[in-house]
Amino acid sequence: MRVEVILSPDEVGHHDLCGKTCVVMDVFRFSTTVLTALEAGMERFFPVNDVAEAQRMKNENPKYLLAGERNAVKIPGFDFGNSPLEHYGKSYTGGELVCSTTNGTKAVQAAQGAAQVVLASLRSAQAVAAYLERSGRDVVFLPAGLEGKFSLEDTWCAGLIASLLAVREWDDGAKAARLLYEHTPVDALVDSAHGRRLQALGLWDDLRFCLECSVSPGVVIWEPQTGWGALVRER
């Protein structure tokens, strides 16, 4: 298995995703939130780039639930913001989320040239690694980053998952991510650029929740063909 890590979203055009599994991470908080919402019983999710598209989808199908944020704050008129704790412990009987966030949903869309797209978080790291081993495809990790720039926590997550894989070949980004993971304590991630934004909003419980590693068996798959994503449980 060859593993690549794209160190900033703006580099995605320099990587060939064809035939590979692309793993998108937005640890703070989109990929953590989607995992948690699906585990709470939401049926599926549809990431969109902008608020207007989300609202258009809702107008066409009022049953859709809108979830998302700008600058980590819930978008006015949406049903949910982007905190995993809005969903943790809930028990939904289905539901279809249309999501729009500042970085995470854009990163998912950027992965659509891949053979398969997986959304990963620290909470699902072990389950995602097992899923990637089973799929056997080469892997490109795509940290969502922050406004196009490098993200400490997303890249650390890529390094953690990569360290769990039987890798034959590492690109430089993957080597850097693995070294970051091996030499940085997980608690240090709260002081990333986005971690500090969430701290400033008092979202410490969100941060602590997002930083729990390999506590979930869930693997989130997104299908570029349909635009919908859902949960598969790693055997």
The residues binding ligand MLT (CB under 6 A) are 26, 28-30, 69, 72, 82, 101-104, 144
Rounded-to-integer distance, Cα 64 and Cα 149, Å: 31
If the CB atoms of residues 71 and 91 are measured against ligand MLT, the closer one turns out to be 71
Rounded-to-integer distance, Cα 55 and Cα 65, Å: 10
State the minimum distance, in angstroms, from the CB of residue 197 to ligand MLT: 7
Q: Give the closest residue to 133 by CA, choosing from 44, 219, 17.
A: 219
Cβ(225)–Cβ(115) under 8 Å? no
Rounded-to-integer distance, Cα 55 and Cα 58, Å: 5
State the minimum distance, in angstroms, from the CB of residue 104 to ligand MLT: 3
Q: Give the closest residue to 6 by CA, choosing from 164, 163, 16.
A: 16
If the CB atoms of residues 49 and 61 are measured against ligand MLT, the closer one turns out to be 49
State the minimum distance, in angstroms, from the CB of residue 56 to ligand MLT: 20
If the CB atoms of residues 101 and 216 are measured against ligand MLT, the closer one turns out to be 101
Rounded-to-integer distance, Cα 52 and Cα 186, Å: 36
State the minimum distance, in angstroms, from the CB of residue 144 to ligand MLT: 6
Q: Give the closest residue to 181 by CA, choosing from 1, 2, 3.
A: 3
Rounded-to-integer distance, Cα 201 and Cα 223, Å: 33
If the CB atoms of residues 170 and 222 are measured against ligand MLT, the closer one turns out to be 222
State the minimum distance, in angstroms, from the CB of residue 86 to ligand MLT: 11
If the CB atoms of residues 21 and 32 are measured against ligand MLT, the closer one turns out to be 32
